[in-house]
Chain A
Amino acid sequence: MEFLLFLLRRVAWSLLVLFGLSVVIFLIARAMPGDPVRLALGPRASAEQVEQLRETLGFNQPLIQQYGIYVAGLVRGDLGQSLLTEQPVANDIRQTFAATFELVLSTITIAFVLGVPLGVAAARYKDRWPDNVVRIIAIFSAVTPSFFLALLLQILAGYVLHILPTTGRLPPGLTFSADITGLITLDALLNGRLDVFLEALRYLLLPSIALAAATMGQIARITRSSMIDVSSQDYAEAGRAFGIPERVRVFKYMLRPSFVPPLTILGLEFASLIGNAFVVELVFSWPGMAAYGVRTILQKDLNAIMGVVIVSGVFFVLANLVIDVLTGIVDPRIRIRGRR
């Protein structure tokens, strides 16, 4: 019951943020220099033609009403037409989003599964060699641009060692349509196609590692400082005085209270991951939304840009909703304080 209320409150906040997001994006699009109607009709259009199209498109209505039309479209999933592909933007995004989502999901999994233990080890052996090794890893992963790492991995694993594929999501001969969730790995499992699942994982591995490195370094560093902070708390010491084994003390008593900062960072990383993904997607010919977004920006395809921004924003807000709920589960103080 208590948890349900906590959940409802978080969802309500997310809706509020989404509303704000839609307003901001709408206003930015309206504030852009240049008249979209003139742009669409070209320089030789008459004033009447311009006026007519303005009316058809609803530009002569009050701003509030224009916003209403825009939001109504959003709710129906109508993001307008793309100049680039001459397809509805929603279709383009639907086709590309799943690929990016799969990439980001496996990226955060790798970043978290490697970053947290590295941080724990560094904190546990503070100022000793494991700490220094983790520090070096964290710094290198933070300063190496993901495109460089992507190329490096591609050359090393693909062309030198020939152990992993370097482009695409599946081998060219393999036909598999991921039409349940759009995530090939997940759909393959749902269809019981273990062979496809393993193939897809192999294709997923290199781009995910390239994208995960920076986030992993961040998480390792945050986990380290958070653990060190907790280890100086009396309750960490109390665990020793009561004879709790070191393993339990570190992984139960110290890791869980340290878990909120890395989770929060992870939530924030979602935004930069979507942004950074385009380089990795281009290098690995990954048919994702991030690469699509960049193409639309280069073509000044306004509808498509807005669509990508909105979908990224919604994704970011939802990801952070999940993270918020997770932090509430991990740390009861967050949901108990929120109650007051």
Chain B
Amino acid sequence: MSFPLLRVENLSVSFTTYGRTVPVLHGVSLDVPARSQVALVGESGSGKTVTMKAIMGLLRQPPARITSGAIYYDGADLLTMPEKERLKLRGTAMSMVFQDPMSSLNPVFTIADQMATILKYADRRLGRTRSSRDRMQRVYDTLAQVRMRDPERVARAYPIELSGGMRQRVLIAMALLSETDLLIADEPGTALDVTTQAQILKLLKDLVEARGLALLMITHNLGVVRETCNSVYVMQKGVIVEKGETAAIFEAPAHDYTRSLIDAVPRLTGGRRFGTAGVPA
């Protein structure tokens, strides 16, 4: 097998607050091959967000500390490369879709302003030049790609003037502004109603497939995973407890925790798929 686009190897992270050090990740390893859709699943507090932040380089150190491991992007270790090199990747080659459409957009700037700013500094990091007119065109095009009707009107709006679904699409558009290879999505649409979330996930999946992007989806909802991803890593208390193809995991979950997560997916037929050990039915 060729080297994957993103490889996390034996990553351990601990947090120190008020003099107490708490290990949060214990030797997490995961692979995201190019053009594949991978899910990292776990409940709140399982460490999936910390993993994501470590990959994006967003961990505040201190209080966080990466105690061991490596994160390879395209074969280069993000943790040892100079910060300047890493900045070139962040928000460009690897990009993030934020979770909460209500709080992830800056309330006091228009969509156009926020998107153009992202593009401006992405261009600058990569040593590209683009006129402000071209930049705006790129903003409109990207908004159109996330199936926004009337992109120019949306661009002029402030976040408060858009619906939750529209804001989530703007967040996806922001991640797609630069030529991204890896998209990291943090539970997109969780804050939205189920119908809108389904639309957002469909949109995300279509975009990822059409552009041949790799997707790392962080979620607690295995239902979402089944819709969007080919392989799954299940995380509990900072440890990867199970990994495999999505279909195989749904068919025969090996770990009790995975079974309870599958049982937690609401089903129309009622009842539970597995008798879950350790979790009261």
> In the complex, what's the smallest C-beta–C-beta distance from A263 to chain B, in angstroms?
13
Q: A234-B100, A234-B103, A336-B161 are in contact. Are A243 and B121 (CB under 8 A)?
A: yes
Q: Which of B58, B100, B109, B125 is the one whose CB lies under 8 Å from A241?
A: B58
Which listed segment binds A: B88-96, B192-200, B220-228? B88-96
Q: Does B28 belong to the interface (CB within 8 Å)?
A: no
Give every chain B residue within 8 A of A252 (Cβ-Cβ).
109, 117
Which listed segment binds B: A13-21, A75-83, A185-193, A327-335? A327-335
Q: In whole angstroms, how far apart are the Cα atoms of A267 and B58 in the complex?
A: 38
> In the complex, what's the smallest C-beta–C-beta distance from A235 to chain B, in angstroms?
4
Q: A243-B91, A332-B158 are in contact. Are A235 and B58 (CB under 8 A)?
A: no
Q: In whole angstroms, how far apart are the Cα atoms of A235 and B106 in the complex?
A: 5
Q: In whole angstroms, how far apart are the Cα atoms of A252 and B128 in the complex?
A: 23
Interface flags, A15-39, vs B, CB<8A=1, else 0: 0000000000000000000000000
A333 near B121 (CB under 8 angstroms)?
no
B106 near A241 (CB under 8 angstroms)?
no
Q: Does A233 belong to the interface (CB within 8 Å)?
A: yes
B121 near A244 (CB under 8 angstroms)?
yes
Q: Which of A243, A256, A331, A336 is the one whose CB lies under 8 Å from B90?
A: A243
Give every chain B residue within 8 A of A9 (Cβ-Cβ).
none
Interface flags, B77-113, vs A, CB<8A=1, else 0: 0000000000100111001101110011111110000
Q: A234-B98, A238-B98, A336-B161 are in contact. Are A243 and B104 (CB under 8 A)?
A: no
Q: Does B56 belong to the interface (CB within 8 Å)?
A: yes
Q: Which residue of A lies closest to B90 (CB)?
A: A243
Q: Does B8 belong to the interface (CB within 8 Å)?
A: no
B174 near A235 (CB under 8 angstroms)?
no
Size bracket of the B interface: 20 to 34
Q: Does B122 belong to the interface (CB within 8 Å)?
A: yes
Interface positions, chain A 205-264, Cβ under 8 Å from B, are: 233-235, 237-245, 248, 252-253, 256-257
Q: Does B160 belong to the interface (CB within 8 Å)?
A: yes
Q: Which of A235, A240, A331 is the one whose CB lies under 8 Å from B103?
A: A235
A333 near B100 (CB under 8 angstroms)?
no
A333 near B92 (CB under 8 angstroms)?
no
> In the complex, what's the smallest C-beta–C-beta distance from B116 to chain A, in angstroms?
12
The residue in A241, A257, A333, A336 that gathers the most chain B C-beta atoms within 10 A of its C-beta is A241
Q: In whole angstroms, how far apart are the Cα atoms of A243 and B109 in the complex?
A: 17
A241 near B91 (CB under 8 angstroms)?
yes
Number of interface residues of A (CB under 8 A): 23
Give every chain B residue within 8 A of A239 (Cβ-Cβ).
106
Q: Does B118 belong to the interface (CB within 8 Å)?
A: yes
Q: In whole angstroms, how far apart are the Cα atoms of A256 and B106 in the complex?
A: 10
Q: A235-B106, A330-B108, A336-B158 are in contact. Are A241 and B117 (CB under 8 A)?
A: no
Q: In whole angstroms, how far apart are the Cα atoms of A256 and B108 in the complex?
A: 7
Q: A234-B98, A241-B96, A241-B98 are in contact. Are A331 and B121 (CB under 8 A)?
A: no
B108 near A331 (CB under 8 angstroms)?
yes
B103 near A233 (CB under 8 angstroms)?
yes
> In the complex, what's the smallest C-beta–C-beta distance from B215 to chain A, in angstroms?
16
> In the complex, what's the smallest C-beta–C-beta distance from A186 to chain B, in angstroms?
31
A235 near B104 (CB under 8 angstroms)?
yes
Binding site for A on B (CB under 8 A): 56, 58, 87, 90-92, 95-96, 98-100, 103-109, 117-118, 121-122, 125, 158, 160-161, 174
Binding site for B on A (CB under 8 A): 233-235, 237-245, 248, 252-253, 256-257, 330-333, 336-337
- Contacts A241-B98, A243-B87 known; 15 new A-B pairs at CB < 8 A: A234-B103, A235-B106, A240-B90, A241-B90, A241-B91, A242-B118, A242-B122, A243-B91, A243-B121, A244-B91, A248-B117, A256-B108, A257-B106, A257-B108, A331-B108
Which are the 4 A-B pairs with shortest beta-carbon distances? Answer: A243-B91, A242-B91, A234-B104, A234-B103
